[in-house]
Amino acid sequence: MMSRLALTVFVFVLIANSANADVVERVVATVNNEAIFLSDLRKRAVPFLPQVAEASTETERMARLKELYEELLTFLVDEQLIRQLASSGGIRVTDADVDNAIENLRLQNNMTEEEFKEALESQGLSQGQYRQDLKRQLIRLKVMNERVRSRVNVTEEQVRSRYEQRARAEGSELRFQVSHVVVPVAEGASAIQVAAKRQEAETLRASLTPENFNARAPQLGGGDLGWLTQGDLPEELERALLPLNAGEISNPVRGSSGFHIFFLQDRQVGAGFPSYDEMKQELYREMLDAAMTRQEKIFLDEMRRKAVINRML
């Protein structure tokens, strides 16, 4: 195993060799005519060089270094695009913003100022470097919140669906207490007749409320279905139940015998699984983060296509 001293020496050699000894500085990319320099790339690579040094052969180390530089250059290009967009859009991060972010991080980690400083130093970061990195992160966050957040919409229905997926994965059974009414459609009905029945069902739906549903259901060819579990109804009818909260009425949905309208009186998952209210905020944040990540990638792809980017690594 490579000793700490040998590893340190090898990392130093990697830094020196990767720049080409006879070149003090050079441009490795331009983004809309703004340069990214080799020194920028090398500086960002430093924290990752020990991983490169762990490779068993010189050939593998050089391959790892090349891959690292390619990935970091893509990151720096994106960072430059975001900085340019922030500048043109008047998006600013002040020293006070950075101070507040550092203070929040320190308090979240229950650290004193001295402990926070020591933690940075243990990672080879000066306070100046950390502030600079944090400022870049805050600029990115502000740009994404302004330009990407509006593209993301996580609905209550989606959160409910994710909750029930989790419940099923844990072996908890979903149960629905349901009433329904039916507007029958004769077998072999023409398209015109089916459309007329659909309109009749929609008119009926408009007159139904949670307060009058159960009283009217028997008069309208329906009634109480009791407690159902997933699979008790045909799939096309069950899909109408899944997005409903307790106390809601579905839109008309076509089944084999006609148009059904469901009133979901209650819904449950098996015992031992947290309630929807207990998990809702956690699931919402998880889904929001995933959706933001997807939209950020799309947004960056769009920015790259519009920009003039030359890579010269």
Q: Angle 53-116-112 (CA atoms, 0-180°, nearest 5)?
A: 155
- Match 């408009």 to its residue by tokens: 206
Q: For 4-150+302-311, which CATH superfamily applies?
A: Porin chaperone SurA, peptide-binding domain (1.10.4030.10)
Q: Quote the pLDDT of residue 204.
A: 93
What pLDDT is recorded for position 2?
42
Biggest CA pair distance of the chain: 92
Output DSSP code: residue 55.
S
> pTM of the prediction?
0.61
- 128-145 burial string, b = 16+ CB within 10 Å, else e? eebbeebbeebbbebbbe
* Beta strand pairing call for 253-254 and 248-249: unpaired
Helix-helix angle 113-122:95-108, to 10 degrees: 90
- Residue 275 burial (CB count, 10 A): 10
Distance CA 222, CA 94 (A): 64
For residues 103 and 113, what is the distance between their CA atoms, to the nearest angstrom?
Answer: 9
Q: Boundaries of CATH 3.10.50.40 in the chain? A: 174-268
Fold of 174-268: Chitinase A; domain 3 (3.10.50)
Instruction: Indicate left, alpha or beta for 55 from its phi (over 0: left) and psi (-120 to 50: alpha).
Output: beta
Distance between CA atoms of residues 196 and 45, nearest Å: 68
Give span(s): CATH 1.10.4030.10, the chain. 4-150+302-311
pLDDT at 24: 61
What are the angstrom distances between the C-alpha of 95 and each of 80, 115, 125, 138?
20, 21, 18, 11
C-beta pairs of 21-26 under 8 Å, 24+ apart in sequence: 26/312
Query: pLDDT tens track of the chain, all 313 residues?
Result: 444 333 333 343 444 444 444 446 899 999 999 999 999 999 889 888 888 989 889 999 999 999 999 999 999 999 999 999 999 999 999 999 999 999 999 899 999 988 888 888 887 778 888 898 899 999 999 999 999 999 999 998 899 888 888 887 777 777 889 999 999 999 889 999 999 999 999 999 999 999 999 999 998 888 999 988 878 889 889 888 888 888 999 999 999 889 999 999 988 887 677 888 888 999 999 999 999 999 999 999 999 999 999 999 8
